[in-house]
Amino acid sequence: MDIGTFAIQLLNAVQYGLVLFLVASGLTLVFGILGVINLAHGVFYMLGAYLAWWLTVATGNFAIGITGAFAISFLVGMALESVFIRRLYGRDHLSQVLLSFGLILVVDELRQMLFGRDVQSVPLPEWLSGSLPLTDVLNYPVYRLAVSLLCLAVAVAIFLVIRRTRIGMVVRAGAENREMTRALGIPFDSVNRYVFAIGIALAALAGAVIAPISTVFPGMGDGMLILSFVVVVLGGIGSVPGAAIGALLIGLIDTFGKVFMPELAGILVYVLMAAVLIVRPTGILGKREV
Amino acid sequence: MPADVLEARGLGKRFGGLAACADVSLSVREGEVHAVIGPNGAGKSTLINLLSGDLRPTDGKILLDGRDVTVSGPHQRCRGGIGRSYQKTTIFPERTVFDNARLAAQATRPGALAMRCDGKRRADVREAALAALAEVGLEGRADTPAKSMSHGEQRQLEVAMVLATAPRLVLLDEPLAGMGHAEARRMTGLIASLKAGRGVLLVEHDMDAVFAIADRLTVMADGKVIASGTVDAVRRDPVVRAAYLGEAEEVA
Amino acid sequence: MQPLSSRTHLALLAAAVAAAMLPALVPDYYVQFAAKVLILGTLAMALNLAVGFGGLVSLCHAAFFGLAGYALVLAAPEYDAPSLLLTLPLAVAVAAAAALVIGLLSLRTRGVYFIMVTLAFGEMLFFLFHDTPVGGGSDGLFLYVKPVLSVGETVLVDLDYPVTFYLAALAAAAGTWWLIRHLLSTPFGDALTAARDNERRALALGIPVFRVRLVAFVLSAALAGLAGYLSAAQFGFVAPQMLGWHLSATALVMVVLGGTRRVAGPLAGALVVTGLEEGLKYFIDDWKLVYGLIIIALVLVAPGGLQDLARLAGLGRRTGTPALNLKEANNAG
């Protein structure tokens, strides 16, 4: 592999990892703060992609597609938290698994009623569809670069919120010791609602930005859900930096795995997960057993 | 002199850069109560967790009846003869008193994981469970659900469960914590009676109880042993008086 | 577990006779439906050995179910009847072997980690069959001839006959029920439920918790494999969806609906869920919407499953059972 191809693969790996981070950070935040395991997380990735497609086609404006998908999912998240999710706080994991499974079926069927079951693609606007020359012969698509930058900006925003704000304090405490946070009480009910809605909206945003470079299809959330679980297991539950490390690791392994050993690429992330489980069952940045 | 049931040599435990326990050496003989005292954060709980196998030491050695058990896990230590109670009562609250003791008695006997026989029909297990309940004075409560008993009785039950595993060494982590006067007196008597044929290591804050039943004392501070010996010797130790006993007696 | 009273014995005997007589009493469609319920009930009872009695919320049991199904189809000769005596043990062994590996890794974790790790490993197996040509890819594989049990030239059992197949499924469900029930009465069962109730105490009593859970997990997977084998034989077809986590989650719905603390509960759960699915599909186009809402309502209104529903409806005993008090194996962390 020459240096140019390597650079392109590296950029792809980072872009993939960053998108994965958006999805996984939402999942890990919801678990870290609300103590709820949300299997329906992936279905919102899918919903985000369909919303982006629908809005882009309807308005002819890609920016509206992306922001609309984010905003609508955020509102859906607020509504879901106040109707269903809040009743799961403190309940056992089995109830949470079942309720979110029910939610998957509902959201998936609603998607079918609203948008149908067809595979769709999202057209890119002119200014994003070009390529940047990397070397004499190699180009890199502008849009992929834009996705990386957007995800990076969101990631930086998440880290700033966690480091600098009161909500962030709760987040950090939750990652350290969830029982303690629960015992101390979370400042206000609305924090829960915002955290859940943001988590969902991040997944939807990831689905929306990935829509133009992937295809939009009904089952796209399932694979993402599993991968973000692997990310969370790798990084340690509730740890946002852990999710970042896990996501980038998977981005690298998956992308370069496909280059060097294509027939094994699908299995590699699970091998990585197995290895981490053997060495550190609570994840790379997870809390060690007491 | 009776043989050492347990011997710890140079035991240490680090959490990251923090040494919760460093270079702790002590022994427990058959027929004695060896109490470990010290202020909060002195490393007493860490020590008991190291001895029971709940934590793995980063330094040192643990010998049980002369056998090295340093690297074995809690269930292996139990089978080797170490039984323990926890600071927070650790029983099966949903089950009856007898069932708690039965599970304990069954778990350390041959056929503990048998898949063929009916667990409730084993006479040897039944007898051992009832004997353990009798030893702590709960024989009359066999059919009571554990969760409906008082705090003190639940602690007695935990001791009975430990006894049902036929231990050589009993580790008790603050067995009197949270008890009323009468309950504490009964428990103190019970602990004193446990040492017949066994060794007892006791971590406890109640100094009256410790001085009443301990044969030997080890004093810890900042994860280290600062004094060790007979109760009288330790009481006279000027370092201990300065560091700990004076203030503890005020508190008590 | 209380010993069965003689009255219960009688009721059981009556139920067994009624179940065995079913094919003589109802049309073929219902016999096939009953066989499907028994197979899914076997899967759910098997899953509940891990979930309800081991405190291990597994989301990869469909993978064991599907692996065994694929093992049957892949081992079967193309135009001849596969031997029941050869393929059934093989299929069950494949499921158990997979569970041994997955269990060794995932049982190092607790609680929510365990759920996520089992889900991930289960999906790994799903993708293995979905994306690679081993099992015909996403199209799946057909089993052209159903398994038979024969001695010499005499065919004793031919699963191609619906009634024979139904009786085989009945035997599998009854056998699974009996085995789990028996297991729970043994010292091994005591150790398993003790580890579920209080892992720390179980360890301190000398119970090798990891080993006990691993054995239970493998047994539970083997029984799920038995169900998967029968399912592949019933439909003569296997597809990757058989291993997918949606089936694992559906089996969990059956478990919770039937009651996690009862051995036969999940069988009742399987009957209700399967019946509901068929009914909804028949009457409603967007049936999954209603189905999803019912699952959500179940969790919120009747977490104790059918027993709660009966109580809500004013049936059953006043005392009833407490709401779902499933305690997971995470109290040591």
- Extract the tokens encoding C276: 């509901």
Set of chain A residues whose Cβ sits within 8 Å of the Cβ of C51: 94
Residue type, C255: V
A105, C253 contact by CB (below 8 A)? no
C-alpha–C-alpha distance, residues A17 and A227, integer Å: 11
SS3 label, residue A131: strand
CA dihedral (B89, B91, B96, B100) positive or negative: negative
SS3 label, residue A138: coil
C-alpha–C-alpha distance, residues C274 and A240, integer Å: 40
- Provide mean pLDDT across the span A35-61: 95
> Chains near A, with 3+ CB pairs < 8 A?
C
Q: What is the pLDDT of residues B149-161, one digit of tens each?
A: 999 999 999 999 9
Q: Average pLDDT of chain A? A: 88
C217, C50 contact by CB (below 8 A)? yes
- Residue C14 is predicted with a pLDDT of 87
C-alpha–C-alpha distance, residues C56 and C71, integer Å: 26
CB contact under 8 A, B83 and C198: no
Tell whether C194 lies on the interface with B, counting CB pairs under 8 A: yes
C64, C225 contact by CB (below 8 A)? yes
CB contact under 8 A, B92 and C201: yes
C-alpha–C-alpha distance, residues C272 and C270, integer Å: 6
- Residue C330 is predicted with a pLDDT of 40
* Interface contacts (B, C; CB < 8 Å): 88
Residue B19 has pLDDT above 70, yes or no: yes
- Give whole-number Cα distances, C328 to C52, C199, C265, in Å: 9, 10, 19
Set of chain C residues whose Cβ sits within 8 Å of the Cβ of A88: 299
Distance separating the N- and C-terminal Cα atoms of chain A: 46
C-alpha–C-alpha distance, residues C186 and C178, integer Å: 13
CB contact under 8 A, A92 and C119: no
- Residue A173 is predicted with a pLDDT of 67
- Extract the tokens encoding C115: 């759920």
CB contact under 8 A, B120 and C191: no
Distance separating the N- and C-terminal Cα atoms of chain B: 34
- Residue C221 is predicted with a pLDDT of 98
- Provide mean pLDDT across the span C281-293: 92
* Lowest mean per-residue pLDDT among B38-42, B101-105, C266-270: B38-42
Closest CB from C116, C292, C324 relative to A109: C292
Q: Taking the C-alpha atoms of C198, C204, C205 and C208 in order, what is their torsion angle to the nearest 10 degrees?
A: 80
pLDDT band at residue C24 under the 50/70/90 scheme: confident
Any idea which residue has 């691993």 for tokens?
Answer: C214
C50, C220 contact by CB (below 8 A)? yes
- Residue C320 is predicted with a pLDDT of 41
pLDDT band at residue C10 under the 50/70/90 scheme: confident
- Residue C328 is predicted with a pLDDT of 45
A244: nearest Cα among A260, A253, A254, A232: A232
Residue A263 has pLDDT above 80, yes or no: no
Set of chain A residues whose Cβ sits within 8 Å of the Cβ of C137: none
* Interface contacts (A, C; CB < 8 Å): 133
Residue type, B216: R
**Smallest CA–CA separation between C61 and chain B, in Å?**
23
C172, C39 contact by CB (below 8 A)? yes
C214: nearest Cα among C108, C124, C121, C111: C108
Q: What is the pLDDT of residues C197-225, one digit of tens each?
A: 999 999 999 999 999 999 999 999 999 99
**Smallest CA–CA separation between C113 and chain A, in Å?**
7
| Cα–chain center distance at C95 | 13
A236, A286 contact by CB (below 8 A)? yes
Edge-to-edge strand list for the sheet holding B199-203: B82-84, B169-173, B199-203, B33-37, B216-221, B224-230
Closest CB from B79, B90, B91 relative to C206: B79
Q: Do the strands B224-230 and B67-68 form a parallel or antiparallel pair, or are they unpaired?
A: unpaired
DSSP string, A189-205: HHHHHHHHHHHHHHHHH
Residue B16 has pLDDT above 60, yes or no: yes
- Residue C4 is predicted with a pLDDT of 62
**Smallest CA–CA separation between C197 and chain B, in Å?**
7
C223, C49 contact by CB (below 8 A)? yes
C-alpha–C-alpha distance, residues B231 and B221, integer Å: 17
- Residue B252 is predicted with a pLDDT of 37
Residue C116 has pLDDT above 80, yes or no: yes
C233, C146 contact by CB (below 8 A)? yes
Tell whether B128 lies on the interface with C, counting CB pairs under 8 A: no
pLDDT band at residue A180 under the 50/70/90 scheme: low
The CB-based long-range contact list for B69-73 (8 Å cut-off, 24+ gap) reads B73/C203
- Provide mean pLDDT across the span C18-37: 91
Set of chain B residues whose Cβ sits within 8 Å of the Cβ of C190: 102-103, 106, 119
Residue B249 has pLDDT above 70, yes or no: no
pTM greater than the 0.95 cutoff: no
- Provide mean pLDDT across the span A193-212: 94
Residue C106 has pLDDT above 80, yes or no: yes
pLDDT band at residue A239 under the 50/70/90 scheme: confident
CB contact under 8 A, A266 and C131: yes
Residue A130 has pLDDT above 70, yes or no: yes
pLDDT band at residue C241 under the 50/70/90 scheme: very high
Q: What is the pLDDT of residues A185-195, one digit of tens each?
A: 555 567 788 88
**Residue C131: which H helix or E strand, with range?**
helix C111-131
Any idea which residue has 């009786």 for tokens?
Answer: C167
pLDDT band at residue A164 under the 50/70/90 scheme: confident
Most confident of A133-147, B94-108, C141-155: B94-108
Residue C102 has pLDDT above 80, yes or no: yes
C-alpha–C-alpha distance, residues B85 and B204, integer Å: 12
**What is the per-residue burial (b if ≥16 Cβ within 10 Å, else e) of C275-303?**
ebeeebeeeeeebbbbbbebbbebbbebb
- What is the ipTM, given to two decimal places? 0.92
Closest CB from B108, B118, B122 relative to C206: B108
- Residue C123 is predicted with a pLDDT of 92
Interface test with C, best of B75, B79, B89, B165 (most C CBs within 10 A): B75
Residues in chain A: 290
C-alpha–C-alpha distance, residues C333 and A226, integer Å: 24
Tell whether A279 lies on the interface with C, counting CB pairs under 8 A: no
Q: Average pLDDT of chain C? A: 90
* Lowest mean per-residue pLDDT among A220-229, B234-243, C125-134, C245-254: B234-243
B26, B4 contact by CB (below 8 A)? no
Closest CB from C108, C286, C289 relative to A277: C108
Q: What is the pLDDT of residues C29-80, one digit of tens each?
A: 899 999 999 999 999 999 999 999 999 999 999 999 999 999 999 999 988 8
Set of chain C residues whose Cβ sits within 8 Å of the Cβ of A232: 116
pLDDT band at residue C257 under the 50/70/90 scheme: very high
CB contact under 8 A, B75 and C191: no
B1: nearest Cα among B28, B25, B21, B22: B28
pLDDT band at residue C332 under the 50/70/90 scheme: very low
Set of chain C residues whose Cβ sits within 8 Å of the Cβ of B105: none
Q: What is the percent of chain C where pLDDT is above 90? A: 72
Q: What are phi and psi of C320, to 5 degrees?
A: 60, -170
Q: What is the pLDDT of residues B29-60, one digit of tens each?
A: 999 999 999 888 889 999 999 999 999 999 99
SS3 label, residue B206: coil
C71, C90 contact by CB (below 8 A)? yes
Set of chain C residues whose Cβ sits within 8 Å of the Cβ of B120: 185
Q: Taking the C-alpha atoms of A251, A253, A254 and A255 in order, what is their torsion angle to the nearest 10 degrees?
A: 80
C-alpha–C-alpha distance, residues B21 and B18, integer Å: 9
Any idea which residue has 């353990």 for tokens?
Answer: B132
Q: Do the strands B224-230 and B216-221 form a parallel or antiparallel pair, or are they unpaired?
A: antiparallel
